Every structure is written in C-alpha cells, then in structure tokens.
Amino acid sequence: MSAGTGGLPGTAVGQGVVAATPGGQGAGAVMPAGQGRAAGTSGAGETLVAVQDLVKYYPIYGGLLRRKIGDVKAVDGVGFDIRRGEVYGLVGESGCGKSTLGKTLIRLLEPTSGRATIGGEDIFAKKGNDLRRLRRRMQIIFQDPVGSLNPRMPISDIIGEGLIAQADSENRWGDRKVRDKRVEDYLEAVGLRRDYTRRYPHEFSGGQRQRIGIARALVLEPEFVVCDEPVSALDVSIQSQILNLLLDLRRAFGLTYLFIAHNLSVVQYLSDRVGVMYLGKLVEEANVAELYVRPRHPYTVALLSAVPEPDPRIRKKRLVLKGDVPSPAAPPPGCRFHTRCWLRERLGNPASCETQEPPLRDTGTGHRVACHFADQVSDSLVAEVVGRRVPSPAAGVAASSATADALSGPG
C-alpha cells in the first residue's frame, strides 16, 4: 500500500503498526491492532500526569504608559489526573482554554500558578538541563499539519531536530547516520516510506504532513503526548486513518494521550475518560461511557444535543444556548455558565448560580460535576435531549396488530 493512501507499511489501515525498536536499530514485529479503548488500559492504572489548580493568565495592557489593566483568564484553576496508558479527552467550545492548557502542561507556555507532575516529577519546577531531559517524556502533536512544519527544512531535519537537541554520548543521536536511521524507522512506523526523508513539506498531502508531525513527536520515545486537535484540519476520510493510527501507536509504544478536540464523536471513539471545559474551567469529568449516557452538567447536555445523528429513527430536542460566550477577561461571577444556562431558567433563576461558584464534586463512580443542581438533570431529560429511538413504521404496524389481537381475545 502506498503512503499516499495513508496505510501502514505492509499492513492495511487499522490492522497493525510496525514499531521501531527503542534503540532505533530497525523495524520490530508487527504489533496487534488496537480496538478503540480496549487497546489501552482499563483506566484503573497508576497516575502518570497529575494537574492541580493550573492557572494561565495573559496580561492585558492599556493606556499611554501600557500599564496592566487586567488578565485574560485562559485557564483558571483546572485539576485532573491522567492514568498511564489511557486517553484523556478534553472537549469544549473554541476559546475555552483547551489548547492553552495542553501547551502549558508541557511547558511550551509558562504557567501563572499551579502544579503538574509526570511520574512524580514536578514539571513546572524543572529548569535548564533538567527541563531538557524532561521534554523527552512529553511531546505534542499540533493542530495544523502545514503551519507546524518548517517549509525550508527537509523531513529528515524536521524529525531529527529534537534528536539533535537531546543527543548525548549514550544515544549517539548527534551522529548523522544513527539519527537518519532512527528518523526512517519512525517514518515507517507512521505509514510513510523510508526514502521520504529528503523531501520537503510541500510535497506531501495534509494527512501525510500530520503523520510527519506524529513521527516527530514519537521519535524521542515520550510517555505522554498532547494531541492538540490533530484531525480537525483534515478531510473526514483522512481523519479516520489518523485516529486509527494513533490507537495503534498507543498500543505499540505504550503511550498516554491528552486528546484535545471539539468534535464529541471523535472524543467518544478515542477516549477512556473525558473532561469538559467551559471558559477556562473544568465543568464535568467522567468515564466516556458514563458521560455520553448520563451527562449531568447542563453545558455537556447542550453539547451532546448538538451532535448530528445519522440514524433517522433517533429524535432529538436540541438545546440552543442563548447569547455569546462571555469574555475570559471578565468571566461572570458564580457559575460561569449561568448566563447561558437552560437549566437555571427552568428552575426559576436561583440566585446561588450568580453568587456561588460550584465546586467540581464527585457524584459517584468518579463522575465529577461543577453544578449546584446537577441532580435535577434526570435520565429521562437526557434521553429526550440527546436522542431517543422511535420505532419504524413497520414495527409500529406490527405492534398495533399484536395489541389488537391481544385485546380481541380468542375467536
């Protein structure tokens, strides 16, 4: 299969991945294919990444003297854990702080405050050589496969740039032959030909460029990868190939993902657990099956009601949120969602929504919700809004006939 079709070398899409050996000495055995969430851990493993009260503000300057007059509160007190080997999905509207959180977590942006650890090591406390060594454990796949690749550099230099930065006498990545061999191994692992190393980014399609970005992230053998909307800029047919590739690589290399997206269907397919963000805050977190069947935050319910449903037998009562998203420079007091909350309107606009910020509390089985009235979101309401299956006409006729026969009794 050619690389242009997006397949893995020697295998069909989603059938397996040829994993490079840790030493970069050649391709290893074909690893078994990942089957969605079954490919990773069950979610009951040890914590790899722990985030506590993460804050990232951008200062606002104004006036003739350019004095600080406020802050854009992009991420405001977010905390969660990611277990080793799992995919943690992070969803929300554009501008809610998802990408800022991911970039801050791996030190592409400096945090305003908070704490984050990977394997017990404090990420934000590292400096100099300690930070350089820590970067090998965490990498990122960017959203834009075009803008994230230097158009003036060949693929071998784009992928090998990180190897040069991390080279030492033990790994010998400073040696051109060793580095090129490793780059070729990881190109093959993501479904591209080994002889593509001397080509430039403009010679590839969007899906192939994203595979190059994935190879660049994996070439340093990280434990943790931030996937910053890696398929949102791709065609739908290519999205499925990249998602299956990420699942296969997850199993082959034992990866842990923070998968950032705004497409709820993609997150449902790929994730083990899901966190929902709104205006810099985490408002709900649960196992993926629990969240999509029993959402308890009114914002999550509204998001799920907007997901297109291809089955014509499923009826939805879509919730259309009123107004615009408030500015992160001046978020509303109390619950940040109260200015657009449909549940608050149904309950008669209780004052606590405006005056008290709801804590992210556990409602049972690890399902956390930041809403004062989460218990008012019933299963029947969710079924009505998110979707309920209606019987087909044929099934309705059959049911009516059966009912008529039962009522008429024996002839």
Following DSSP, what letter does each residue of 249-295 receive, concatenated? HHHHHT-EEEEE-S-HHHHHHH-SEEEEEETTEEEEEEEHHHHHHS-
Q: How confident is the model at residue 406 (pLDDT cuts 50, 70, 90)?
A: very low
- Percent of the chain at pLDDT exceeding 70: 83
pLDDT of residue 311: 75
Residue 64 makes CB contacts below 8 A (sequence gap 6+) with none
Comparing 23-27, 74-78, 395-399, the range with the smallest average pLDDT is 23-27
Q: How confident is the model at residue 2 (pLDDT cuts 50, 70, 90)?
A: very low
pLDDT exceeds cutoff 70 at 232: yes
pLDDT of residue 281: 95
Tell me the C-alpha distance between 383 and 389, whole Å.
Answer: 9
pLDDT of residue 263: 86
Q: How confident is the model at residue 13 (pLDDT cuts 50, 70, 90)?
A: very low
Contact 390, 314 (CB under 8 A): yes
pLDDT of residue 391: 53
Report the chain's mean pLDDT, rounded to a whole number.
84
Instruction: Give, as one character, the DSSP assignment of residue 322.
Output: P
Q: Where in the chain is the domain with CATH 3.40.50.300?
A: 6-275
pLDDT of residue 388: 60
Tens of pLDDT, residues 177-209: 999 999 999 999 999 999 999 999 999 999 999
Q: Which residue has the higher pLDDT, 324 or 298?
A: 298
Residue 383: helix, strand or coil by DSSP? helix
Would strands 27-32 and 16-20 be described as parallel, antiparallel, or unpaired? antiparallel
Tens of pLDDT, residues 234-282: 888 899 999 999 999 999 999 999 999 988 889 999 999 999 999 999 9
Tens of pLDDT, residues 43-91: 457 999 999 999 999 999 998 888 999 999 999 999 999 999 999 999 9
Tell me the C-alpha distance between 118 and 102, whole Å.
Answer: 13
- Please return the burial class of 115, using the count of CB atoms within 10 Å of its CB with bins 0-12, 13-18 and 19+: middle
Instruction: Give, as one character, the DSSP assignment of residue 329.
Output: T
Arithmetic mean of pLDDT, 358-371 = 92
- Greatest pairwise CA separation for the chain in angstroms: 96
pLDDT of residue 389: 54
Assign domain 6-275 to its CATH superfamily.
Answer: P-loop containing nucleotide triphosphate hydrolases (3.40.50.300)
- Percent of the chain at pLDDT exceeding 90: 67
Total-model pTM: 0.83
294's tokens: 């029993």
Arithmetic mean of pLDDT, 156-175 = 91
Question: For the stretch 47-71, what's the b/e string if a residue is b when 16 or more beta carbons lie within 10 angstroms of its beta carbon?
Answer: ebbbbeebbbbeeeeeeeeeeeeeb
Q: Among 219, 215, 222, 5, which Cα is nearest to 230's?
A: 215
Arithmetic mean of pLDDT, 360-379 = 92
Arithmetic mean of pLDDT, 294-319 = 85
Angle 16-17-18 from CA coordinates, rounded to 5° = 130
Residue 343: helix, strand or coil by DSSP? helix
